Chains A and B, each alone.
Chain A
Amino acid sequence: MDPLGWSLHRVFYVWLTLWVTGQGLATDLISEATGTVADAQTLAFFESKIRPLLEKKCIECHGRHKQEGGLRLDSQPGWRQGGNRGPALVPGKPAESLLIKAVQYVDIDIQMPPEDRLGADDVALLETWIQQGAFDPRTDVAPASNLAATEWAKAFQKRLAWWSLQPLRKFHPPDVKITEGTLEPVDRFICRSLNDVRLEPASPAEPEILLRRLAFVLTGLPPTPHQRIAFLENWKTNPTTAYETLVDRFLASPFFGERFARHWMDAVRYTDTYGYEWDNPAKGSWEYRDYLIRAFNQDIGFDQLLREQLAGDLLPSPRIDREREINESLIGPAFYHLGEHRHGSSLMFNGIHQDMVNNKIEAFSEAFLATTVACARCHDHKLEAVSQRDYYSLAAVFMTPRWTSRVVDLPGKHDIAIIKLQKLRAQIQREMASRWLSVVSEAGAFLPKILSRANSVKELSEVTIDDVLYPLTLLTKGNTDIEKRWIDFAAEWRQARAKRIEANSEFQILADFRKPIFPDGWVWEGDGIKHGYVVDGTPLIALEGDLIVARLLPSGFHTNALSSKLPGSLRSPPQGSIARKIASVQLAGGEFGGHLVVDGNAFQNETIGFLNSPEPTWISFADTPLKNGVTQVTIELTTASLNPNFPPRTGLAKGLAHTDLGYDKRSWLSITGIVAHEKAETPQRTLQHLTTLFEGVLPRTEDEAVQRVRGWLMATVRRWCLGKSEEGDLLVLQWILANDLLPNVADAGTPLATLLAEYRAVEQGIAHAHTVNSMDERGSAKVRYPLNVRGNVDVLGEWVSPDFLSMFAGRNNVSESRGSGRLELAESLLQPSHPLTSRVYSNRIWQWIFGTGIVASPDDFGHLGAIPSHPELLDYLAQELIHGGWSTKRLVRRLVLSQTFRQSGLVSPLAREIDPGNRLLHHYSTRRLEAEAIRDSLLSVSGTLNPALFGHPIDPPRVAEDSKKRLFAGPVDGHGRRSLYLKMSIMEPPKFLAGFNLPDLKLPTGRRDMTNDPTQALMMLNDPFVKAMSQHWAEQLIHQPDSSSGGRIATMFIRAFGREPDRSESARWSIALTELTPEGCQNVMTDALAWERLAHVFFNSPEFIYYH
């Protein structure tokens, strides 16, 4: 309560009372609680106008039962105390009262009542009321009724009773009487449901139908003529084994992994870019896509896949692919990075991380739990047992780790090469040392070059005391009184040195790189750092050109110390935990090695700087004030390969071509000092290198002085050669080397040349690192994430710690975790008793096989989702999945071997009437191919398919390019690669696929739309890709030695439809061929255009894109 406002308020009332009394109009009234006095008229005004108005328009949301925004308007103390935005009104001052602003709708953020805006009359009433002091006799506060909480608890309990949250029940496959054949357990459930409504399953499908169905379902490609022949042959002998063999063959095909990976990519909204203004490449997204393909092909259990996608960086024993030498598990968390990343950072704009976290929560909860947790961002869920607090506790889980790039190569992958390089480097160093030692032993060495270099200095002002050359220039300019000059010079040096040492004492040295260690809390990554530490004077071997030694390195970490292919990054602890206000790091770098200032765990960060100098420079990072819900700011120093935001948006990395997507880049970074301090200055050189110059007797003549300088330089070299370098020597050595005083070229045939060549060859052989945007929790403290009141990012409520949904309370250890709790979260989802995980995934598999899930809404098992058509079967499958070690292939195999799957697509009139949607599976539904399968079929049938697996995404064809957004046009046939390799760019997804219902790339989509519209017909008719495929197919056909057009048409049928034409079809197509053959054609069998036209009709026949 504002005491001043209150006293004014009283004064006003006293005045009012006097005035009123003076008029003799009314009896004074005293409001008990406040002691305010009002007259009957004031009371009447309140009671007749204000109270009803408040009751009618405000109290519902701002009363006992609900306190939106923490505000109550059902009592005077209520509005005095106010809500999240402070007191609701200022008596006497309508203009300053929030209430008035709200009802006037002047502020876009607060407009009340939200639906039913007050009329001008009502607003005027409120203004008058406040103007006159806001008399309010409602002093009793109805006990801060906890009704809202109680009601939530009640609703929550009720919602927990929802079917999908009940434990899995055990059901035995029912007994069903059948006349022939054997039934899989699955069939028993299906048959029983059919029998219940007196329906029968359809007859078994013909082998060709079955083959085509199975091929599309398991591989997304049509069967090849060869597969068809083999299968039909086997079928003749034994249909059962023929079919089983076929199933196993398809399950073992690498196309299986591609097909099922793409299914899962829908569920997690796979993208290759990050969208918004610049559509930045999503680093390593494609590695995640390939990881999925491998995982489905290798039949990695879904339990492991879940664990890896949620917490692959935290697994005590990650899954290793020995052949590829990668840590597969570490790729899993790329799952989080998918979806849109916002331009701008959280500190620049509020809402950035909040909106992105929302997208992550949506994807996580829909993909794994089929629960719409994201709905609880602004309020407790309207339908599910998910509170708003639940949402924010999950946000805290996801915001605790740093979302950054990781090296997924196995540690030690390059060890052999690295050890070789280290040895070679040492050998080269020894060779150089002996060579240089002999140079400095020569009489008169250095002298002419020193003098000529010194004489080349035109102006003394060009040179400072920091330059190695400085002592010489002093001596050669003017030729008098050398002794005095030397003394002055020494004094100047001593003074400068003392001053600098004094200034440097302000700095707290966080890392003394005389030893290879980083300060506490700094986290590093990559072989570049791991093998990057060197002591002063270690040579950096030149990787090309004539020189042997590119530079001599100062002590510290150099990611390029052995090879600039090795990645490296170093991350600071949160700025607040570093002593002092400013942290400065001495950095050198090139080829887009750089630094990032990361606010919170910002997903996309534009506070990025690149280094472009081998010369170490101090770069300062001052503490950033936290705001906008950001809880920490860290500094990340990184090579391009480990920079999670590389390449950044076009224009931010100067010199980087727009076409350069950052694949396989060399890049490097050196860290040679870390200090903390308060003032803005950075450490200075202490001029240590001159110390030995001033030792010994004073030079009296110029010659003596020059000799002294020469001796100083030579002694430095000698010390290096003997491995006894001292502090400060490096600067001098660097100068000597740069000024060509020492031989640094390997003459052909010398041992040095051999060593150098060997070094370079070994370095060449090192592969570029595999890096993927993943997670890193090392050094991360648990984050508390602010609840946003009503989802408003500017109104913070309680700070919430990591935890899992309260509906699973007591069944997980997320909150007990010392870190984010992601691993605990994953493990809790994999408890065999978890009601959702196994149901949700087995339902997805069912849908991938049958077209519609047992629950038709695969991403929503909640109140707005569909009810399971066969709940007992669902539970049965869920348990089978678990018992089968969460194997996808095992469950898929069971489903496709069922009689239910093997039914024909024929539907009886009765079945059509009783169950027109085929929810009971009385036949196999007709299905349209997904966009990818349509395009892949075109490639396959036309003979254009390139079956290569994996790799960088391929740009789709585009009419126009936009290089600033990196929207480039690719080949019309995408090099014949399957559609899942086309670049999934949020900005402009591949058009052909989008036309056939590729999902919105930002939304998790468990089940695709299957629309049917004329633009699809236009694409199939006129798209250059379809045309090209028709041409390609025709080109092949006319070179085949078919004896007749009828025979050729039959082979086309087999390729396109997986079957031979019947007699009427043969006739129909033969007639058409004649009519489509250009006039004057001599031999139709070699007429490309005729066959192209016919091929085109195959592609445009519904049978091409539908199967049943």
Chain B
Amino acid sequence: MSINPLSNGNCNGRIANADSRRGFLQQASAGFGWLALNGLFAQRAAAASIPQHAPCAKNIIFCFMDGGPSHVDTFDPKPMLKQHEGKPIGKIGEVDAKRSQRSSDDRVWFGSPWAFHQRGESGLWISDLFPRIATVADRLCVVRSMVGELPLHGQQNLLLHTGRILGQAPSLGAWVSYGLGTENRNLPGYLVLNNDWVPNGGLENFGSSFLPASHQATMMRAKGEPVDNIKPGDTPAVQRRQLALAAEQGRSFAAHSSDALAIEGAIANYETAFLMQSTVPEVADIDGETEQTRRLYGLDSTDEHQRFYATQALRARRLVEAGVRFVEITCPSFDSNNSPWDQHGHLKRNHEKNAQITDQSVAALIIDLEQRGLLDETIVFWAGEMGRTPHTSKISETSGRDHHVGCYSLFMAGGGFKPGVTYGETDEFGISVISNPLDIHDIHATILHQLGLDHTQLTYRHAGRDFRLTDVHGRVIREILA
């Protein structure tokens, strides 16, 4: 009888703690994508990971603009919209109908309520919606030619995060955690700085799906206990005593167990967990930051939501410094809207509100990282899940824009992306891409590339095939790399 090498040693698919991973993988290596081995071998010591190629960046901070900020009001100026404001969109808009939520009937062009200016030495176009981000224009690599798949939040969110409109696949952050591991054993590899907000598409946006659950995001909230279960339930002395007893008991159990490694792994995890109880709040605690830094991020704001966002942005920097590979920041929901940037109505009022909440902190993050010499090794990735229609149903004070996936904008800063450039072009009304269209797989591939990971090699076997973040798509966009 032959024993299948694939299943050899694979007891319940268990991956024990880092110590036993090596032993486990020695037996079961063929079951994993090769690259993941590197990540899994990347143990607790800092920078022990063995990426596929020399990386440019070590970390990524993803500022997720949930709901779809309007491209024609932020990074993609369209003077034609103002000129034709109120006029029916006619034939030009029809190309939009296929993907847009609305038909082209009864739609009129809607000029941006904000003026656009060229900023910095690069002359990058940014609207007055983002006065602070405008000050770091020379650091941004703006892509204007993103194309999505379906103008619906759930689908686009999952596409942005997991590379599939259906989800059912690991999040970008989970892949990075899987591929690179964490540099700090007392911190998770993938953190989402959130405030108990479940975005459309659900927590799956931050999930590990078929990857081991240890790669799913740990959520850190802006107010209250930063991370679930991080607050010790008893004094350190009592906990120490309890853990000593549990460990002692566990070790005698391990001695009688056929899988001592797993048991010892579980015991070791308690040690880590115990330390996390102090490490995580320490990293999350921004009180020790200088007044100057706190003001830079906007922590002195009178607006609660802006303070939430500033808190999270500043924490993101601290987490990156502490060795977390992937940090995502979600937008606070300031009203009962389905998602923060989703302005079907009241574009002016509520886009301004969202901008006020996020603009200063995002800019501060870039400035702060740069001042600390971290920007080169940290990708700041700013993106929503889609853009918004350049047209509306009627021009009024309360006009809004609907979902748009024919084109939209996003940007990267730092991490080896070309600074002060825009890439890709849309037509004069901001309906479609006319040059260099990209989809999210291209962005994913490029980000992974900067982190030293080849998106075609970072795979995991599941349901009969080797899955990767970019599925069968994606290419590294070298034109936007420095």
A residues in contact (CB < 8 Å) with B: 105-108, 114-115, 117, 193, 196, 275-277, 279, 340, 342-344, 348-349, 351, 355, 358-359, 362, 366, 372, 374-375, 382-384, 851-852, 856-857, 859-860, 862-870, 905-907, 915-920, 923-928, 959-960, 962, 964-965, 967, 986-989, 991, 994-995, 997, 1000, 1002-1003, 1007-1019, 1021-1023, 1027, 1064-1065, 1068-1069, 1072, 1075-1076, 1093, 1096-1097, 1100-1103, 1105-1106, 1108
Contacts and interface: CB of A to CB of B under 8 A. Distances in A.
A994 to B, nearest CB: 7
Nearest to A344: B152
Contacts of B214: 1011, 1013, 1015
A1003 B263 CA distance: 28
A195 to B, nearest CB: 10
B45 interface: no
A193 B1 contact: yes
B258 A918 contact: yes
Contacts of A1017: 266, 269-270, 272-273
Contact of A1106 (B165, B241, B262): B262
A431 to B, nearest CB: 53
A1108 B256 CA distance: 9
A106 B258 contact: no
A343 B202 CA distance: 13
B272 A1014 contact: yes
Given A108-B433, A916-B27, A1021-B270, A1065 B198 contact: no
B136 to A, nearest CB: 29
Contact of A1000 (B204, B250, B274): B204
25 contacts: A277-B201, A340-B166, A340-B168, A860-B464, A866-B6, A870-B1, A905-B256, A906-B258, A915-B3, A917-B11, A959-B221, A991-B228, A1009-B212, A1011-B14, A1014-B270, A1017-B266, A1017-B272, A1022-B277, A1064-B252, A1065-B249, A1097-B245, A1101-B253, A1102-B250, A1103-B249, A1108-B257
B424 to A, nearest CB: 11
Given A1022-B231, A1102-B254, A108 B439 contact: yes
Interface of B: 1-4, 6-17, 27, 101, 147, 149-155, 165-168, 188, 195-198, 200-204, 207, 209-210, 212-214, 216, 218, 221, 224, 228-234, 238-239, 241-246, 248-250, 252-254, 256-259, 262-263, 265-267, 269-270, 272-274, 276-277, 336, 338, 433-437, 439, 461, 463-465, 472, 475
B10 A856 contact: yes
B239 A960 contact: no
A864 B464 contact: yes
A1010 B13 CA distance: 6
B14 A276 contact: no
A960 B197 CA distance: 8
A488 B9 CA distance: 99
Nearest to A959: B196
Contacts of B16: 1012
A351 B14 contact: no
Nearest to B239: A1021
Nearest to A355: B166
A856 B254 contact: no
Given A275-B154, A967-B198, A1093-B234, A1009 B203 contact: no
A351 B98 CA distance: 12
Nearest to B456: A115
Contact of A275 (B202, B230, B267): B202
B469 to A, nearest CB: 16
Given A905-B257, A1000-B207, A962 B198 contact: yes
A1000 B210 contact: yes
Contact of A372 (B15, B463, B475): B463
A187 B196 CA distance: 52
A107 B207 CA distance: 31
B273 A1014 contact: yes
Contacts of A860: 463-464
Nearest to B209: A1000
Contacts of A925: 11-12, 258-259
In this complex, the member of B200, B267, B336 whose beta carbon has the largest number of chain A beta carbons within 10 angstroms is B200
Nearest to B333: A962
A108 B7 CA distance: 40
B212 A905 contact: no
A916 B20 CA distance: 14
B263 A926 contact: yes
Given A276-B202, A1021-B273, A917 B168 contact: no
B423 to A, nearest CB: 13
Contacts of B203: 987-989
B1 A1018 contact: no
Given A916-B8, A1103-B250, A1108 B258 contact: yes
Given A277-B338, A1101-B253, A926 B167 contact: no
A924 B246 CA distance: 24
In this complex, the member of B207, B229, B272 whose beta carbon has the largest number of chain A beta carbons within 10 angstroms is B229
Contacts of A344: 150, 152
Contacts of B248: 1068
A340 B167 contact: yes
Nearest to A1025: B229
B433 A366 contact: no
In this complex, the member of B188, B267, B464 whose beta carbon has the largest number of chain A beta carbons within 10 angstroms is B464
Nearest 9 pairs of A and B residues by beta carbon: A960-B196, A372-B464, A276-B154, A1017-B273, A856-B7, A926-B259, A987-B202, A917-B9, A1013-B214
B437 A108 contact: yes
Nearest to A339: B168
A1021 B233 contact: yes
Contacts of B150: 344, 349, 351
Contact of A851 (B11, B151, B153): B11
Nearest to B225: A959
A357 to B, nearest CB: 12
Nearest to B244: A1072
Given A279-B202, A959-B224, A1105-B266, 12 more contacts: A275-B204, A277-B200, A383-B464, A917-B8, A925-B11, A925-B12, A926-B263, A1003-B209, A1007-B13, A1017-B269, A1021-B239, A1068-B249
A1012 B14 contact: yes
A1023 B277 CA distance: 13
Contacts of A1096: 233, 242
A928 B250 CA distance: 13
A916 B200 CA distance: 44
A964 B241 CA distance: 45
Contacts of A1101: 246, 249-250, 253
B147 A117 contact: no
A864 B3 contact: no
A818 B266 CA distance: 57
B242 A1097 contact: yes
A622 to B, nearest CB: 16
Contact of A1014 (B10, B13, B269): B269
Contacts of A924: 258
Given A275-B154, A279-B202, A1093 B433 contact: no
Contacts of A383: 464
A1048 B351 CA distance: 63
Contacts of B207: 1000
Contacts of A1010: 12-14
B153 A277 contact: yes
B253 A1106 contact: yes
A341 to B, nearest CB: 11
A515 B198 CA distance: 53
A961 B218 CA distance: 18
B280 to A, nearest CB: 9
Contacts of A1105: 266
B213 A1011 contact: yes
Contacts of A964: 336, 338
A1017 B188 CA distance: 13
Contacts of A1075: 241
A925 B216 CA distance: 27
